């Protein structure tokens, strides 16, 4: 088993090495271990979720993973990952820039709903703003599912990074040149 070259990276469940490390430590995949802390000598110590200082909860992490799977499964079932003329499986082969811009278009629709305080035309009991944000998240999760992106792990890592970054600290944001928004 190769466990070197990981000395400054935490390893999450979607990482190819995570299953290897879980097996090596006799722990259950994704359910008990948040990450593996590098010991600096090529070995790792498993860190349980309840001992992790990361802001993202286990429930949120598993929820995002499940949502990613569900969104991609739904769009696959609806035929969005099949070439309807040839029957070719298009998983991972669609135009990625186009898909990213479709996410942006959902945000633009949310902006329009906010601007005019509109209710959604398809779900009239809901605000257009929240439905279009939901559309955006559905598209993001489908995209991540289709391209095997570790969205849950990335959110966990980024929330942890944001929690300690200097330019997000209140005392630095109020200083001259600090981030105002």
Residue 8 or 121 having the CB closest to Mg ion: 121
Per rule CB under 5 A, count of chain residues that contact Mg ion:
4
Closest approach of Cβ 169 to Mg ion, in Å?
A: 36
Site string for Mg ion, 92-131 (x = CB under 5 A): --------------x--x----------------------
Give the residue nearest to Mg ion (CB): 135
- In order, the DSSP letters of 6-52 are -TT----TTSHHHHHHHHHHT--TTTTEEEEEE-SSS-EEEEEGGG-
> Taking phi first (over 0 means left), then psi (-120 to 50 degrees means alpha), and beta for anything else, what does residue 11 get?
beta
Residue 106 or 142 having the CB closest to Mg ion: 106
Residue 15 or 127 having the CB closest to Mg ion: 127
- In order, the DSSP letters of 51-103 are G---SS-HHHHHHHHHHHHHHHHHHHHTTTTB-TTT--B-TTTS-HHHHHHHH
**Residues 33, 61: Cα–Cα separation, whole Å:** 12
Closest approach of Cβ 44 to Mg ion, in Å?
A: 43
Residue 3 or 102 having the CB closest to Mg ion: 102
Residue 123 or 159 having the CB closest to Mg ion: 123
CA dist list (Å): 66 to 39, 59, 70, 95, 100: 31, 10, 6, 24, 21
Closest approach of Cβ 177 to Mg ion, in Å?
A: 38
List 12, 22, 120, 135, residue binding Mg ion (CB under 5 A):
135
Closest approach of Cβ 136 to Mg ion, in Å?
A: 8
Token reading at 90: 């298009």
Closest approach of Cβ 155 to Mg ion, in Å?
A: 22
The site for Mg ion (CB under 5 A) is made up of: 106, 109, 132, 135
């Amino acid at each position: 088993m190769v466990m070197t070259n990981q000395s400054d990276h935490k390893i999450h469940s979607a990482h190819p090495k995570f299953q290897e490390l879980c097996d090596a430590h006799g722990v259950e995949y994704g359910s008990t271990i948040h990450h593996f802390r590098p010991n600096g000598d090529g070995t790792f110590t498993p860190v349980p979720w309840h001992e992790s200082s990361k802001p993202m909860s286990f429930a949120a992490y598993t929820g995002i993973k499940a949502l990613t799977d569900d969104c991609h499964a739904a769009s696959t079932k609806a035929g969005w990952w099949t070439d309807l003329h040839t029957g070719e499986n298009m998983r991972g082969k669609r135009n990625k820039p186009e898909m990213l811009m479709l996410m942006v278009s959902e945000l633009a629709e949310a902006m329009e709903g906010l601007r005019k305080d509109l209710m959604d035309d398809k779900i009239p009991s809901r605000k257009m703003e929240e439905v279009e944000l939901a559309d955006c998240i559905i598209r993001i999760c489908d995209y991540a599912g289709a391209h095997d992106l570790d969205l849950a792990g990335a959110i966990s890592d980024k929330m942890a990074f944001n929690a300690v970054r200097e330019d997000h600290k209140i005392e630095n944001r109020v200083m001259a040149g600090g981030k105002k928004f």
